[in-house]
Structure 1
Amino acid sequence: MDTKNTMEKVEFVEGRVDWKGRRAVKNKHGGIRTSILVLAAFAFENMATLALSVNLITYFTGIMHFELPDAANHLTNYSGTGYILSIAAAFLADTYIGRFKVGLVSACIEFLGIALLTLQAHYPKLKPPPCSIFDQTVHCEQVDGGNAVLLFIALYMIAAGAAGLKATLPSHGADQFDEKDPQEAKQMSSFFNSLLLAICVGGAASLTLIVWIQDNKGWDWGFGISTIAMLMAVVIFAAGLPLYRIYVVQQTSAILEIIQVYVAAIRNRKLDLPENPADLYEINRDKEAAIEAEFLPHRDTLRFLDKAAIQISPAESEKPEARNPWKLCRVTQVENAKTILAMIPIFLSAIMMTLCLAQLFTFSIIQASTMDRSITKSFHIPPASLPIIPTTFMIILVPVYDRIFVPFARRITGHRTGITHLQRIGVGLTLGSLSMAIAAIMEVKRKNVARSHNMLDAIPTTHPLPMSVFWLSFQFFIFGIADIFTYVGLLHFFYMEAPKSLKSISTCFLWCSMAIGYFSSTILVKTVNRVTKGIGNSGGWLEGNNINRNHLNRFYWLLSIMNLINFCVYLFCAKKYQYKPQSPIEVPEENKTEKKITKS
């Protein structure tokens, strides 16, 4: 058999390696097939934990016997901690350990936390006894001592594990695509939309199957199913190890480099900027830049930060002793610092959306518990399953958005995501304000029904209001549509705009804004109660356990107005924002591609 030498082109992905540390090959590692494993892991993780988010308040009040305001605050504190810890997990992932390792360890911690919660729910000695009735008064013993410690250890293990997964799974999934390749860049856009779809699919299973089991078969059975789902997430995520493109950890702190720019700009504040931006300092790409080095062109924005790159003379700046990183920074380093600074107002705008979301998972669930939840004579919807309504619509609308709207808009705008990230976020913020306004209207209607039927003091479990729970679906539906635009838009925006070495931390900007939103919800609820106490000869708007007697509708109107003001501020900041170039300056082609000779 004749043989001949053939030339086979092997394309390597810049800044990515396989699990053995070898350079990742484009046709062998990464791409859609590996991103599907990430999406499946995220779906199972959300299946395991969403039921906790929506139904824990029932567990806190009904089993652990916390009062309603305390239960709501425990839930928002738990949720907020899960988001705020994602920053620490992202820092470790980007700088020292790597995204895959942090994600795998976090998944195992979350699995153990849910398992502990299952054990406590199963054994009576680990939880307070059921409430008793004495002299027509209900007496409940609140969880305390070692059992309370066990409860909060389990909860915050879950929060810590979820934080690590939130920090790493979106960025690790996006790492499977080469953003410099136009085709893979489009696939990355679809990945972020599919991320929401995966969350919704897992959430749908959680809101129906697991919540129903918790309410009808027992909390231990419900938590047990969540434990199994979390185990599936661990196994699926770990199974993709041989196929993943793994980001190369630089072992240097990108955050420190950003801080150096701000310090250098302050130290050089009295120096005059050169007329030609080309005179600003940048390392020699041909001689000194490794293949992974990032190069960004100068942008005429936030010019005061350019002072960090002022060099005395090109010849002097090339000397190692002259490169004090706290006084002289690269143009690329300065551009990254500009991007981070410009993203802060966008980051802050997401906080109000989470304030609204927190109410849908707390007070709206309590609203639902007072209403008629029957579909047939024998089947009643659990209050915590109500978010299945927007989730179902999102499962339908996300593919429509990704497969129909985006290609259509792309032909008109020429933008690879159809509309810009900031436009998408703005639409979501508007819908968030509308959702809270509708929630206020529905609460007025619900209270009028209770008043007209003399049921203001009715016990919801035995005397639900003659008003269908589906009236609340309007506020859930509108907010679900807002989710499609705002949260996915923010996640994609932060990933694309951030420096290469800050991808995990940048996607955590979303989770961090949500954490601040949850913590702010706790503060806002207490503040509103304190400020409104005694107004109109009544307690605070949200005081007490009887939702029929308080003024939740006024609180919803307050949130709607606050969100509308937030949107106006966002609009001003978004118009001022300048996008980072879609693709950084290309390094020489021969450095990215190697040729391999094989014989056949």
Structure 2
Amino acid sequence: MEFNEEVVLIEGKVDWKGRPATKNKHGGMRAALPVLGSYMWIFVASTFAFENMANLALAVNLVTYLNALMHYDIADAATHVTNFMGTNHILSIVMACVADAYMGRFKPVVIAAFVECLGLALLTVQAHSQKLKPPLCNIFLPTSKCEKVSGGNAVLLFFGIYMLAVGGAGVKAALPSHGADQFDEKDPKEATQMSTFFNGLLLGLAVGGSVSLTCFVWVQVNKGYDRGFGLSLIAMFLGAIIFISGLPRYRIYVVQGSSAITELLQVYVAAIRNRNLQLPEDPSELHETPILDREAATHHEFLPHRDVYRWLDKAAIRSNETEPPNPWKLCRVTQVENAKIFLAMVPVFLCSIVMTLCLAQLRTFSVQQGVTMNTKLTNFFNMPPASLPIIPISFMLILIPIYDQIFVPFVRKFTGIPTGITYLQRVGVGLLLSSLVMAVAGTIEVKRKNIAKHHNMLDAIPVFQPLPISVFWLSFQYFVFGVAECFTYVGLLEFFYSQAPKSIKSISSCFLWSSMAAGYFMSSIMVKIVNHATKGVTKSGGWLAGNNINRNHLEKFYWLLSILSLINFAVYLFVALRYKYRPLSLDVEDENEVHQLKILNPSMEDL
């Protein structure tokens, strides 16, 4: 049988039958398409697009659903939604650990997708049956004393919602890294395609989101939440089926059989235990696994020693003990370098939290602003307030292809960077824009409230008497945030995936979802803190308390977030300027490299 260089084992990847994955049959952009949802100008129905299609309409309209049908106050409804979104994202870390250490990255996506389907099915049944909801009541009437959902019905509601959180966490944890696994970072062509994949990932979200925010939201508002949730169920089911259909073409990551998180913890523990030891002047004296043969070499990743976070190097100091080395007291240089990289990413992760804190407001309070405004587009069509995020999504549908196919190749000629600008530069642009978003949002809220005061409509019931101001005034804040999302979230996803050790790609990708989770939880906390600190300012008990948004001080809350975002950006600049990018791993691919690694010092300082 004749072999060429295309028919070779791609390191750490197999096909669905466990056979070696080959470049000519598996992976690449073709295999990533079922993960993307769309690629360039062509819409391809696929998993991430359908997953976002199923859930975005529910996320943006859930505050209204909990407020109008389940009779929660606006602040309580917003808190429930941000808690749900936070749980959805924070669980992705748990799912990623399971994926990287035990199940691989394909199976968790399939299981999670069907868990989401079950959660949507429960919500659909509850929305359809009046027996499973509280008695009908108009919560906007000041004299109404509406009964909130309670007992078994409340259990059913939150069980369905948090099944969505668990399922969504599994998809977010494993799907992006599974898609990136289809590319070989050592191949220059595929490395460039991987950057395009991450841009396409956001484009897939935008395509699915645009359908969700138009068709699905319209159905929820005009035909009933039961039908809207039912459409989401169908979309999620189709997404799962399409993802499974790509199985014969996938490169599937081979689980290494050990927990990468444990290896990182071993470094931190060993460094603490060895804190009193003296570091050698020559880093080559630090411990590294010797390479005895080609087979042993192919199972290890090797990183050169770097002169950063030197206190962690103490984890690799050899002792004179004769017994077998304790992994909690002696670690490899490469293991230590991975721990350094992971630690260096933490400040970037922390700086990205405030961005999601701002996003949470656009998915909760901004939608409630839209409820009070004139939503007429024509004499025959009204735009549901929950569909407002279609504005940044529409812009992203245009911006992402332009960025990927025009901006990046043009800038690459001057910078020599494959992605045009660095990951951290891209993130920084988005973080700066997030401050501008909140400043614009506060200004628009002042205008909206002035209209209400001028027309003596501060106590108007939105359902019957919307304010004489178009809902499209909110498009300014959504537009700016759409640009910020394009830069920040794709930049973060690329940054975390590219910088992470091979064995924790899913976990590091989940840094993005975890920062979003922290942002949503922080939103809930901030709402409570602000209400408590300002309870003497308004009759309702705080800037954001009560059901009458016209009597609240949402504009001051937005400006507070704008100042917080600006401070966060200043901190980010300090962090980004000090960050040192991960060096390329020293992979063993031929006999010459094996020989070189045998004779060079263990820490590979000179490589």
- TM exceeding 0.5: yes
> Could you tell me which amino acid in structure 2 is paired with residue 307 of structure 1?
K
Q: Is the CA contact (8 Å cut-off) linking 2:8 and 2:20 kept in structure 1?
A: no
Q: Distance in 2 between matches of 1:503 and 1:183?
A: 20
The one-character-per-residue Cα deviations of 1:23-43 (angstroms, maximum 9, x if unpaired) are 211111111111000112000
> Could you tell me which amino acid in structure 1 is paired with residue 429 of structure 2?
V
Which range moved further: 209-218 or 283-292?
283-292
Q: Is the CA contact (8 Å cut-off) linking 1:308 and 1:334 kept in structure 2?
A: yes
> Could you tell me which amino acid in structure 2 is paired with residue 501 of structure 1?
S
Alignment of 1:347-362 (within 5 A): 347-362=349-364
Q: Distance in 2 between matches of 1:570 and 1:403?
A: 28
Q: Distance in 2 between matches of 1:205 and 1:133?
A: 30
Give the deviation of 1:292 after TM superposition: 3.2
Alpha-carbon spacing, 1:31–1:136, altered in 2? closer, same or farther (3 Å): closer
The one-character-per-residue Cα deviations of 1:440-492 (angstroms, maximum 9, x if unpaired) are 00001111111111111111111111111111101011011100111111111
Q: What residue number does 1:285 align with?
A: 291
Q: Is the CA contact (8 Å cut-off) linking 1:47 and 1:205 kept in structure 2?
A: yes
Which range moved further: 136-145 or 38-47?
136-145
Q: What residue number does 1:522 align with?
A: 524
Structure 1 runs not aligned, ≥5 long: 593-600
Q: What residue number does 2:590 align with?
A: 589
1:8 aligns with 2:14: no
Alignment of 1:256-335 (within 5 A): 256-287=262-293, 289-312=296-319, 321-335=323-337
Q: What residue number does 1:199 align with?
A: 205
Q: What residue number does 2:438 align with?
A: 436
The one-character-per-residue Cα deviations of 1:270-300 (angstroms, maximum 9, x if unpaired) are 2222222222111113437342311111111
Pick from 20, 24, 27 the counterpart of residue 30 of structure 1. Answer: 27
Q: What residue number does 2:132 align with?
A: 126
Q: What residue number does 1:399 align with?
A: 401
Alignment: residue pair count: 582
Pick from 14, 18, 24 the counterpart of residue 17 of structure 1. Answer: 14
Give the deviation of 1:586 after TM superposition: 2.4
1:337 aligns with 2:315: no
Q: Could you tell me the percent identity over the aligned residues?
A: 64
Instruction: Provide the secondary structure at the position in 1 that maps to 2:468.
Output: strand
Q: Distance in 2 between matches of 1:133 and 1:494?
A: 45
Q: What residue number does 1:597 align with?
A: none
Instruction: Provide the secondary structure at the position in 1 that maps to 2:21.
Output: strand
The one-character-per-residue Cα deviations of 1:48-96 (angstroms, maximum 9, x if unpaired) are 0000110011110111111111111111111111011111110100001
1:150 aligns with 2:156: yes
Alpha-carbon spacing, 1:572–1:84, altered in 2? closer, same or farther (3 Å): same
Pick from 405, 410, 429 the counterpart of residue 427 of structure 1. Answer: 429
Q: Is the CA contact (8 Å cut-off) linking 1:283 and 1:289 kept in structure 2?
A: no
Pick from 474, 477, 480 the counterpart of residue 479 of structure 2. Answer: 477
Give TM-score scaled by structure 1 length.
Answer: 0.94
Q: Distance in 2 between matches of 1:591 and 1:66?
A: 69
Q: Distance in 2 between matches of 1:224 and 1:538?
A: 37
Q: What residue number does 2:580 align with?
A: 578
Q: What residue number does 2:504 align with?
A: 502
Which range moved further: 298-307 or 528-537?
528-537
Give the deviation of 1:243 after TM superposition: 1.1
The one-character-per-residue Cα deviations of 1:233-252 (angstroms, maximum 9, x if unpaired) are 11011111111111110111
1:108 aligns with 2:110: no
Q: Distance in 1 between matches of 2:558 and 2:140?
A: 37
Q: Distance in 1 between matches of 2:141 and 2:436?
A: 47
Give the deviation of 1:590 after TM superposition: 6.2
Alignment of 1:553-572 (within 5 A): 553-572=555-574
Alpha-carbon spacing, 1:43–1:590, altered in 2? closer, same or farther (3 Å): farther
Give the deviation of 1:141 after TM superposition: 2.0
Instruction: Provide the secondary structure at the position in 2 that maps to 1:467.
Output: strand
Q: What residue number does 1:596 align with?
A: none
> Could you tell me which amino acid in structure 2 is paired with residue 63 of structure 1?
L
Pick from 240, 249, 256 the counterpart of residue 243 of structure 1. Answer: 249
> Could you tell me which amino acid in structure 2 is paired with residue 586 of structure 1?
D
Q: Distance in 2 between matches of 1:383 and 1:300?
A: 53
CA RMSD of aligned residues (A): 1.8
Alpha-carbon spacing, 1:411–1:127, altered in 2? closer, same or farther (3 Å): same
The one-character-per-residue Cα deviations of 1:110-155 (angstroms, maximum 9, x if unpaired) are 0111011111111111112211699983232211111111111110
Q: Is the CA contact (8 Å cut-off) linking 1:370 and 1:464 kept in structure 2?
A: yes
Q: Is the CA contact (8 Å cut-off) linking 1:100 and 1:172 kept in structure 2?
A: yes
Alpha-carbon spacing, 1:537–1:216, altered in 2? closer, same or farther (3 Å): closer
Q: Distance in 2 between matches of 1:591 and 1:102?
A: 39
1:367 aligns with 2:363: no
Q: Is the CA contact (8 Å cut-off) linking 1:46 and 1:203 kept in structure 2?
A: yes
Instruction: Provide the secondary structure at the position in 1 that maps to 2:458.
Output: coil
Structure 2 runs not aligned, ≥5 long: 37-45, 594-607
The one-character-per-residue Cα deviations of 1:220-265 (angstroms, maximum 9, x if unpaired) are 1111110110011110111111111111101111111111111111
